[in-house]
C-alpha cells in the first residue's frame, strides 16, 4: 500500500524559477507505508550541531568569558566581523497550548522593568569582555511575546543596545509579533525604532483549531496588520505556521495555506508540531486523540509545499519558504544559506550573542545557554556574573560533522571533496559506516549518489532531518529520542 505525495516539486528546481507549480514539474515517487513508518520517528531540527540537549553544565561562565575575550583579541571567531544579537523576552499574557518555548505567562506588565534592568547588566558584562561598539548586522527579538513590552520599554531596551553595540543601518532587524497584541500605531513605533522585519505568529486560521490550542485570532485581524506593515515600509514580513495541531485536517490546512498565500508574506516558516506533554506542561491540555495521523501530517506538508510553490514561493528547505526576491531565497540560490538557533539565516559563520533568560548563543567553536528561570538569571547578574548555566566546546569531530549536517540541511547536497579539503580528512574512510547508511537511503529514493557525494531527491527533502541524522554521532548511542519532535 502506498500514500501518494501529490504536487510538490524538487526544491532544487523551485530555487531556479519562481513558478514551478505546473503539470510538468518533477513529481516525487509514491511514499510507501513502510517508509513512512520507518521515517516517522523523533529527530533533531539541527539548528545547531551538536544539538542543545548535548550541552553540559561543565561549560561555565568562565568558558564563555574566555570565548568572548578570545574573539575580542582575534584568537577565535570572526574578530572584527559583524555580530548577530538575539534578545529573549519571556513574557506572555496568555498560554498557547502547543507552545514549547521558554515563557512566563502573566498579565503583570510591571515585571518587564526589572527584566530590562537585568538585560542591561548582562549587556554590560558581555561588552566589557567583547569591547563596546561591536558591529551588529542582525538583531532578533523573540520570546515569549516581545511586544509584551510597551513602547517606552522597547525604547529603553533599544537605547541600551545602541549604546553598547553599533547597529549598522543596513542590517536585518526583526521582532516576533503576536497579532493580538499590536496595532498600526505599535507597528509604526517598531519601525521608528529601527525594526525592518516582522514575524507574525499565525499557526492556523481555522477557528476550530485555534480554539483547541487556545489562540484565537481571525484572518481579518492578521490581514489588516499585514497591510499596515507594508504601508509602514517593513522590508520583510514572515508568517509562522504549524502543521500537526489538534483538529487539523488536510482539508482545513489547505484553506489556511490559501489564506496565507493571499496575504503574500515575504517568508513563511512552517513547523511540524512536536507533542511532548511530558516535557511541556501546556501541551497536556491538548487532546492527543484529536492530533492528525502521520499520514495526514505528510499530506499537509505535501500540499503546503505544492501550494506555496504554485503561488510563486521558493522552497528553502525543511520548514521555510520565501518569495524569489527575498534575501533568504537569494542566499539559497547563491549557496550562502546558513542555519542557526532561529532557523534558516542569510549570515553564515556569524557569532551570535544571546541575551536574556534561556537564550542560546554561539561564539567561535562554542555554544552557551543562559539560566532557564528568572530567579536563577537574576541571581547571577546580581552577583555580577554572566548567567551561563551550560554549553559546549566543540571538538574537531563536532566541527566536521557540523559542516556535513549543515550542508545537507541548507543545500541538500554533500560534496566529499569539499569536506575533505576543508577539514583535512578522507570523507570516505572517516564516514565509512555513515556512507553505507546513505546507500540504504538511496535505495529508498531519498538521495542520489554520484562520484563526489550525494544529493537529496524531491522525496528526500521531506526527510532531510533523517538524512542528517545519519551523521549525528551522539544519536547512535542514544536509546531515547523522545526529547525531539518527530521527523514528519
Q: What is the mean pLDDT of residues 229-234?
A: 97
What pLDDT does residue 420 have?
Answer: 96
Binned at pLDDT 50, 70 and 90, residue 2 comes out as very low
Cell matching residue 362 = 554561539
Binding site annotation covers 269?
A: no
What backbone torsions phi and psi does residue 23 show, to the nearest 5 degrees?
-70, -20
Pairing outcome for strands 320-322 and 314-317: antiparallel
Q: Does the annotation list 344 as a binding residue?
A: no
Is 49 annotated as a binding-site member?
no
CB of 60 within 8 A of CB of 387?
no
Q: How far is C-alpha 185 from the chain's CA centre?
A: 28
Our CA angle for 222, 225, 231, nearest 5°, is 145
**Which band of pLDDT confidence, cut at 50, 70 and 90, is reported for residue 479?**
very low
The mean of the pLDDT values for the chain is 88
Q: Which are the contacts of 451, defined by CB distance < 8 A and separation ≥ 6?
A: none
- Work out the percent of the chain whose per-residue pLDDT is above 90: 71
Question: Has residue 9 got a pLDDT over 60?
Answer: no
Q: How confident is the model at residue 478 (pLDDT cuts 50, 70, 90)?
A: low
pLDDT for res 13: 32
Residue 22 burial (C-beta neighbours within 10 Å; 0-12, 13-18, 19+)? exposed
Number of CB atoms found within 10 A of residue 33's CB: 13
pLDDT at 461: 83
| pLDDT tens track for 238-258 | 999 999 999 999 999 999 999
Q: How many CB atoms lie within 10 A of CB 209?
A: 23
- Please name every residue paired with 269 in a beta bridge, in sequence order, or none if there are none: 240, 320
For residue range 393-417, list pLDDT tens digits in order: 999 999 999 999 999 999 999 999 9
Q: What is the pLDDT at residue 480?
A: 47
Tell whether the model's pLDDT for residue 112 goes beyond 80. yes
What pLDDT sits at residue 274?
Answer: 87
* Ligand-binding site membership of 97 (annotated): no
Check residue 426 and give its pLDDT.
96
- Residue 482's contacts (CB-CB under 8 Å, 6 or more residues apart) are 42, 276, 278
CATH of 52-393, one of 3.90.550.10, 3.20.20.220, 3.80.30.20, 3.40.50.880: 3.80.30.20
| Residue 390 pLDDT level (bands cut at 50, 70, 90) | very high
Residue 17 pLDDT: 31
Determine whether the annotation assigns residue 335 to a binding site: no
**Residue 96 marked as a ligand binder:** yes
pLDDT band at 343 (very low <50, low <70, confident <90, very high): confident
What's the chain's length in residues? 488
Structure confidence by residue, pLDDT tens digits, 133-153: 999 999 999 999 999 999 999
Q: Rounded to whole angstroms, how far apart are CA atoms 276 and 469?
A: 20
The neighbour count for residue 349, using CB atoms within 10 Å, is 9
Question: What's the pLDDT score for residue 31?
Answer: 61
SS (H, E, C) the chain: CEECCCCCCCHHHHCCCCCCCCCCCCCCCCEEHHHHHHHCCECCCCCCCCCHHHCECCCCHHHHHHHHHHHHHCCCCCCCCCEEEEEEECEECCCCCCCCCCCEECCCCCHHHHHHHHHHHHHHHHHHHHCCCEEEEEEEEEECCHHHCCHHHHHHHHHHHHHHEEEEEEEEEEEEECHHHCCHHHHHHHHHHCCCEEEEEEECCCHHHHHHHCCCCCHHHHHHHHHHHHHCCCCEEEEEEEECCCCCCHHHHHHHHHHHHHHCCCEEEEEECCCCCCCCHHHHHCCHHHCCCHHHHHHHHHHHHHHHHHCCCEEEECCEEECCCCHHHHHHHCCCCEEECCEEECCCCCCEEEECCCCEEEECCEEEEECCCHHHHHHHHHCCCCCEEEEEECCHHHHHHHHHHHHHHHHCEEEHHHHHHHHCCCHHHHCHHHHHHHHHHHHCCCEEEECCEEEECHHHHHCHHHHHHCCCHHHHCCCCCCCCCECC
* Separation of alpha carbons 255 and 205, rounded Å: 8
pLDDT band at residue 125 using 50, 70 and 90 as cut-offs: very high
Provide the pLDDT for residue 402: 95
Residue 398 grid cell: 563536532
CB 45 within 8 A of CB 62: no
> What does the pLDDT read at residue 16?
32
Q: For helices 184-193 and 219-231, give the axis angle rounded to 10 degrees.
A: 40
Q: Which comes out higher in pLDDT, residue 345 or 435?
A: 435
All three cell numbers of 69, joined, read 575575550
CA dihedral 161, 166, 171, 172 (to 10 degrees): -20
pLDDT at residue 462 tops 90: no
Q: With 50 as the cut, is the pLDDT of residue 24 above it?
A: no
**Is 240 annotated as a binding-site member?**
yes
User: Any binding-site annotation on 267?
Assistant: no
Q: What's the pLDDT score for residue 297?
A: 87
pLDDT at 318: 77
Fold match, 52-393 / 395-479: no
Degrees, nearest 5: CA angle 291-297-300: 120
50-108 pLDDT, tens digit per residue, is 999 999 999 999 999 999 999 998 765 555 689 999 999 999 999 999 988 889 999 99
**What does the alpha-carbon distance between residue 458 and residue 478 come to, in Å, rounded to a whole number?**
29
Band of pLDDT at residue 306, cut at 50, 70 and 90: confident
Whether 274 has a binding-site annotation, put simply, is yes
> Is residue 99 a known part of a binding site?
yes
Q: What is the CATH number of domain 395-479?
A: 1.10.10.920
Joined together, the cell numbers standing for residue 431 give 564516514
Mean pLDDT of all residues in 261-284: 92
380 grid coordinates: 547571577
pLDDT at 7 over 60: no
Lowest mean pLDDT among 207-211, 379-383, 462-466: 462-466
Domain boundaries, the chain: 52-393, 395-479
Q: What percent of the chain has pLDDT over 70?
A: 89
Instruction: Report whether 410 belongs to an annotated binding site.
Output: no
- Residue 487 predicted with pLDDT over 80: no
Pick from 41-55, 60-74, 195-209: least confident: 41-55
Instruction: Report how far apart, in Å, the C-alpha atoms of 195 and of each of 227, 301, 338, 345 are.
Output: 17, 31, 22, 17
Amino acid at each position: 500500500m502506498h500514500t501518494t505525495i501529490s504536487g510538490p516539486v524538487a526544491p532544487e528546481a523551485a530555487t531556479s524559477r519562481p513558478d514551478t507549480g505546473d503539470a510538468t514539474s518533477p513529481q516525487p515517487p509514491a511514499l510507501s507505508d513502510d517508509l513512512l513508518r520507518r521515517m516517522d520517528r523523533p529527530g533533531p531540527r539541527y539548528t545547531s550541531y551538536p544539538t542543545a540537549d548535548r550541552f553540559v553544565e561543565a561549560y561555565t561562565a568562565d568558558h564563555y568569558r574566555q570565548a568572548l575575550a578570545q574573539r575580542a583579541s582575534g584568537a577565535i571567531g570572526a574578530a572584527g566581523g559583524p555580530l548577530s544579537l538575539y534578545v529573549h523576552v519571556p513574557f506572555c499574557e496568555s498560554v498557547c497550548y502547543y507552545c514549547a518555548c521558554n515563557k512566563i505567562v502573566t498579565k503583570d506588565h510591571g515585571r518587564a522593568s526589572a527584566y530590562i534592568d537585568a538585560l542591561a547588566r548582562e549587556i554590560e558584562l558581555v561588552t566589557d569582555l567583547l569591547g563596546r561598539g561591536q558591529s551588529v548586522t542582525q538583531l532578533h527579538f523573540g520570546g515569549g511575546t516581545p511586544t509584551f513590552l510597551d513602547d517606552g520599554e522597547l525604547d529603553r531596551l533599544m537605547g541600551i543596545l545602541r549604546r553598547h553595540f553599533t547597529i549598522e543601518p543596513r542590517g536585518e532587524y526583526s521582532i516576533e509579533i503576536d497579532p493580538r497584541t499590536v496595532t498600526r500605531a505599535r507597528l509604526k513605533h517598531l519601525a521608528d525604532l529601527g525594526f525592518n522585519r516582522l514575524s507574525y505568529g499565525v499557526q492556523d486560521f481555522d477557528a476550530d483549531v485555534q480554539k483547541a490550542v487556545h489562540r484565537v485570532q481571525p484572518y481579518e485581524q492578521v490581514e489588516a496588520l499585514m497591510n499596515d506593515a507594508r504601508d509602514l515600509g517593513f522590508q520583510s514580513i514572515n508568517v509562522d505556521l504549524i502543521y500537526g495541531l489538534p483538529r487539523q485536517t488536510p482539508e482545513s490546512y489547505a484553506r489556511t495555506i490559501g489564506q496565507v498565500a493571499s496575504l503574500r508574506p515575504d517568508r513563511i516558516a512552517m513547523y511540524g508540531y512536536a507533542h511532548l506533554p511530558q516535557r511541556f506542561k501546556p501541551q497536556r491540555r491538548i487532546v492527543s486523540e484529536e492530533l492528525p495521523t502521520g499520514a495526514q501530517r505528510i499530506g499537509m506538508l505535501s500540499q503546503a509545499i505544492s501550494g506555496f510553490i504554485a503561488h510563486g514561493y521558493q522552497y528553502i528547505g525543511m520548514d521555510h519558504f520565501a518569495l524569489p526576491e527575498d534575501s533568504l531565497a537569494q542566499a539559497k540560490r547563491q549557496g550562502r544559506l546558513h542555519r542557526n538557533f532561529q532557523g534558516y539565516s542569510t549570515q553564515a559563520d556569524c557569532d551570535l550573542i544571546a541575551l536574556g533568560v534561556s537564550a542560546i548563543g554561539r561564539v567561535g567553536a562554542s555554544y552557551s545557554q543562559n539560566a532557564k528561570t528568572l530567579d536563577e538569571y537574576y541571581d547571577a547578574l546580581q552577583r555580577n556574573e554572566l548567567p551561563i548555566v551550560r554549553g559546549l566546546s566543540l571538538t574537531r569531530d563536532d566541527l566536521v560533522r557540523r559542516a556535513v549536517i549543515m550542508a545537507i540541511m541548507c543545500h541538500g547536497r554533500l560534496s566529499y571533496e569539499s569536506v575533505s579539503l576543508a577539514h583535512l580528512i578522507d570523507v570516505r574512510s572517516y564516514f565509512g559506516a555513515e556512507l553505507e547508511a546513505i546507500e540504504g537511503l538511496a535505495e529508498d529514493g531519498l538521495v542520489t549518489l554520484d562520484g563526489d557525494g550525494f544529493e537529496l531527491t524531491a522525496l528526500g527533502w521531506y526527510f532531510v532531518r533523517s538524512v542528517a541524522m545519519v551523521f549525528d554521532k551522539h544519536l547512535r548511542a542514544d536509546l531515547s529520542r523522545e526529547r525531539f519532535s518527530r521527523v514528519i
